[in-house]
Each structure stands twice: as C-alpha cells, then as structure tokens.
Structure 1
Amino acid sequence: MPSTELPQQMSARRIDRPVPLRERVYQAMQELIISRQLAPGQHLVESELAEMLGVSRQPIREALQLLNSEGWVDLRPGYGAFVHAPTEAEVDQLLVVRAALEAESARLAALNTDAEGVARLRKLCAQGEAAVASDDIDGMVAANAELHRCVTELSGNQVLLDMVSQVDRRVRWYYTPIARHRGHQSWQEHARLIDAIEAGDADAASRTMREHTERTRQSYLEQRRENPEPEVAPVQVRSRRRRTAPGV
C-alpha cells in the first residue's frame, strides 16, 4: 500500500509568504481614511499617494481597487478615485446592527467574565478617560474600539466576535468625528457598563450597552446634520497636450 505521507524534501520547501505590498498599502490607506486624514469626498491622486507612502503607483492602483470593492473609495470613470462619503442611511443602518450585536455581547459578557476580564475593561476605561483629559482624539477612538472589542471577547461567542469585527472599522470611522463631543459622557457610560458586567447582571449590561450605542448613533446623526459631509464635485480632467518634435 503506497504511503500517503509527503516526502520530507517536499515539506521542507514550505516558506512563509510576506504580505503583498498592495495589502500593506491597502491597510495604510484604510487607516488614513478611518482617522479622517483622508476626508470623505477627498480626491485621491495616485502620484501623490505613491509619494506619501513611498511606493510606486502600481500597488496604489491595486489598493484603490480593493478599497473600492469594500466601499471605502469610489472610483468614478473619467474623474478618478474619491474617499467614499457615507450616506446618512448607511451609517444609521450599520450603527443599528452594531447596537444589536454589542447588546448581546454585553449580556453574555456579564454571564461569562471573571475578575481578570473586568480588570481589562477597567484598564481600557482608564486609558479612554486619560485620552479625553489630554484631548487625544486618536487615543479616544483606539481605546473605545478596544473596550468594545474586549466586551465581545469576554462574551465567549466566537461567531459574535467575527461579526462585530466586520463592522469595527466602520464604527471607528464614524466615531472619530464625534469622539471629542461624546467626551467624558461616553466613558461614564462605559464605567456603568463595566459595573453591570462585574455584577453579573446580564439584563442591565445589555440595556446599558444598547443605550450607550444609541447615544453614539444619535450624536453622529446630529453632528452630521450640523456639519454635512462635503459633496464630491466633479474634477476637471485635463487633456494632455501632444508633444511635438522640435521644429514641427
């Protein structure tokens, strides 16, 4: 009977593949969009992005295609690439889904977490408060995202964690412009949530999380109505002048 094992010399050929350059460029550009360093509606010029990131235009072009397929960038034939400006409806729909997922995360966390998990949450809450005190927007957004992720991890439900992770980057994108406005109130709500989880009160944890996420949703919608995302104006495409040979 023939052996089903691969020859040793074949298995030795396996190597770790580095992350393709387009993936690293994609990740870098996504973070620039989430942090609003690339603003909604902003025209994305390949040559400028290539110079900024220190790469050629080819991985920029490939990254833009990936970002377009995931709704971070809009490719407009004849005009170029633009950072996607989310509509009020799509933001509202995502935040509603987020509230449902995270309310269940909080409920399960209250039933399953231990003292070590609560300590992790307290530490993240303290980091968020410190970021508010120093007016560190990036720190607020990062601590907020990490605390919410931690709650879902403590739920013990891997499927729920996978689903929450799918919307996490969008939530960070939407939370960035209101982080300062939510300020201390947001972290006071987090503290009450942690109290409910520590007490093992699943109903209170779920209710507190739902109220918290609803306030964030309302804050975003109010901020958007007061400061609407800029409309994308068509870019004038310059026709290239033909070069002619000297003397022609």
Structure 2
Amino acid sequence: MPSTELPQQTSARRIDRPVPLRERVYQAMQELIISRQLAPGQHLVESELAEMLGVSRQPIREALQLLNSEGWVDLRPGYGAFVHAPTDAEVDQLLAVRAVLEGESARLAALNADADGIARLRKLCAEGEAALASDDVDGMVAANAELHRCVTELSGNRVLLDFVSQVDRRVRWYYTPIARNRGARSWEEHGRLVDAIERGDAETAAQIMREHTERTRHSYLEQRAENPEPDEQPAQVRTRRRRAAPRV
C-alpha cells in the first residue's frame, strides 16, 4: 500500500499572503507617474503623498526606495525625492528596442491570429477611436497599450511577450504626452495593421508596426525638442488630477 506520508525533502506549498502595503503604494505611485499626474521633475513630499493615498509615511518611504531602484524616482541627498525626468537618449533607446520587438510580434501575429484574436483587435481599435473622438487621453493611452499587448499575445511567443511586457509601462509613460498629437493618424495605422494581420500578410504587418512605432518615437522626440520638460517643479504634489488618485 503506497505511503501517505510526504517525503522529508518535500517543501510545503506556501499560502499566498496579502500584497504588502508598500507594494500597493508602489503600484499606485507608479500609475500616477505613468499618467503624468506626478510629472517628470516633480518634487515628491512624503507627507503630501501619504495624505493623498490615505496611508502613513512609512510605506511611502519604502515605495520611493523601490521606485528609485527601478528608475521611476530620483532620490537626491539633501533635497528629497523627485519624479525621474527621462533623457532623450533613454527614450530613444527604449522606443528603438520596442520597434524591433513589436515588429516581430506583428509578423508572428499575422501567422497565428485566429478570428477571435482579430475581433479583439477590432474592438480595441473601436475603443481607441471612441476615446480619440471624446478627447479622452487616458482612454487613448489605455487602448493603445492593450492593442499592442494583444498583438504580442497573438504572436504565440511567450518569451517575446515577457520582453514586451518589461517595456510596456515605460512606453505608456512616454506615449501619454503625445497621444493627442498622434491622434487620428495613430489609429489609422492601427487599422491598417489589423487588416494586414487578418490577411495573414506577415511581412506587411511587420513593416506597418515598425513604421508605426518609429513615428511614435520621432513624435515624442520632436515634442521634447519643442517643449523640454523642466528638471524640477515646485516642491509640492500637484492636487489637480485628471482622475482621483487611488487610495491604498
């Protein structure tokens, strides 16, 4: 009769614990940075962030350390914490890598996408165009990010999806200030991309995606040249926001 006892070397499966408060604060602050509710160069005051998010200063301090380690926040001794202001080189390099990764995503999606996948892409295009019509920048950014992620999911390549996911939040951060300027042209390009994927035209889909991501890169850099972001803003957290900050 088989033994019902577990081998001595078997490790017990740990029960998932609730997400630590610092992680939830980190996620909330990261979203505020991505949406530009906390702007590049902005001085982050712990007491004001704690009041905004409904927590004590300790998880704010811990979250700032995490954000600093990942390049979202700069901790300056003697001055405090500031939202990181990305350099032109940082943006250029990341968006150039994105063009390569997502060009391959589009090529593979054209070879692997099924009818349900195409329907998802069409739905996301409709959502983006509706957001454009109502001048909903947050909606445009969200639909854009979801469409690009969907293309990569349809590629069927999990490793590629992991790489694209690593740069997704940065892309959203960079895309937010140009979403309105890219506007209709961006969604026209998305429509042509989906058409090529639906036809199974892998090379055309890859070319459209590469050109699309390159236009986004150039648009961002052109806007930066015309309207440089300040290195530093007043030492306070802005209270005017497009939507209420999440409480954690």
Task: Give the TM-score normalised by structure 1.
Answer: 0.90
Q: Do residues 5 (structure 1) and 6 (structure 2) align? A: yes
Q: Is the 8 A contact 2:197 2:205 kept in 1?
A: yes
SS for the counterpart of 2:23 is: helix
Partner in structure 2 of residue 67 of structure 1: 67
User: The residue matched to 1:81 in structure 2 has which SS?
Assistant: strand
In the alignment, which residue of structure 2 is the partner of 1:97? 97
Structure 1 position 228 matched with structure 2 position 228 = yes
| Aligned-residue offset at 1:233 | 7.2
SS in 2 for 1:188: helix
Aligned residues: 232
Whole-Å separation in 2 of the counterparts to 1:49 and 1:38 = 10
Please name the residue that 2:206 is paired with.
206
Structure 2 residue runs of 5 or longer lacking an equivalent are 236-248
Note the C-alpha offset of 1:16. 2.9
Shift of 1:15: 3.3
C-alpha contact 1:124 1:147 (8 A) present in aligned 2: yes
Secondary structure at the counterpart of residue 214 of structure 1: helix
- Match runs of 1:1-248 below 5 Å: 5=6, 14-232=14-232
CA displacement 1:12-50 (0-9 Å, x = unmatched): x95330000000000000000000000000000000000
Q: Deviations over 1:188-241 (max 9, x none)?
A: 000000000000000000000000000000100011111101023797xxxxxx
Structure 2 CA distance for aligned equivalents of residues 209 and 14 of structure 1: 43
Q: SS state of the match for residue 74, structure 1?
A: strand
Aligned to 1:245: none
Measured in 2, the distance between the counterparts of 1:14 and 1:151 equals 35
Percent identity of equivalent pairs: 83
Considering only aligned residues, what root-mean-square deviation do their CA atoms show, in Å? 2.0
**Match for 1:5: what amino acid?**
L
CA contact under 8 A between 1:74 and 1:84: conserved in structure 2? yes
Contact 1:79-1:234 within 8 A present in 2 as well: no
Larger radius of gyration: 1
Q: Is the 8 A contact 2:43 2:233 kept in 1?
A: no
Tell me by how many angstroms 1:160 deviates.
0.2
